[in-house]
Amino acid sequence: MEKHVSLIAALHIGLSVLGLLIAGLIFFVLIGTGVIAQDEDAFLILTIIGTVTFGFMVITSIPAIIGGIGLLKYRSWARILIMIISAIDLLNIPFGTALGAYSLWVLLQDDTEKLFKPAKAKK
């Protein structure tokens, strides 16, 4: 199960970093489009849309990155965080659904739960 946990962590980190890059790209494309249009209203609307989109994607990506790093260190809080994120990801068709289902399947196994117990409790 250790390999599965590492894979889940890497996938969550990778997809979240990709999400941040896409968020930045969307932000700059929308702002650039507003500048090129040379229309104040268009610039204002595109700036608002770009900022909200960027903010939403950052807010949803950062916890997955933090949780993925925690999973690599076998922190119990990271397991719970990634299970919550995975449940939400089930709505993100098709990649989020696949990642969410796989993550939940791995993280809910008894063998996986034992990996996240403190060292004192393992003995």
What is the pLDDT at residue 2? Answer: 86
Contact 108, 83 (CB under 8 A): yes
d(CA 110, CA 117): 11
Q: Which residue bears the tokens 């993280």? A: 107
What is the pLDDT at residue 4? Answer: 93
1 has a pLDDT exceeding 90: no
Contact 16, 62 (CB under 8 A): yes
Contact 70, 77 (CB under 8 A): yes
56 has a pLDDT exceeding 90: yes
What is the pLDDT at residue 38? Answer: 87
pTM of the predicted protein model: 0.85
Contact 14, 87 (CB under 8 A): no
Total domain count, the chain = 1
Phi-psi region of 20 (alpha: psi -120 to 50; beta: other; left: phi over 0): alpha
Q: Could you give the C-alpha distances from 84 to 3, 57, 62, in angstroms and in order?
A: 21, 17, 14
66-90 pLDDT, tens digit each: 999 999 999 999 999 999 999 999 9
Q: Looking at residues 8-34, what average pLDDT do you find?
A: 94
Confidence band for 119, pLDDT divided at 50, 70 and 90: low
Residue range of the domain that includes 118: 2-122
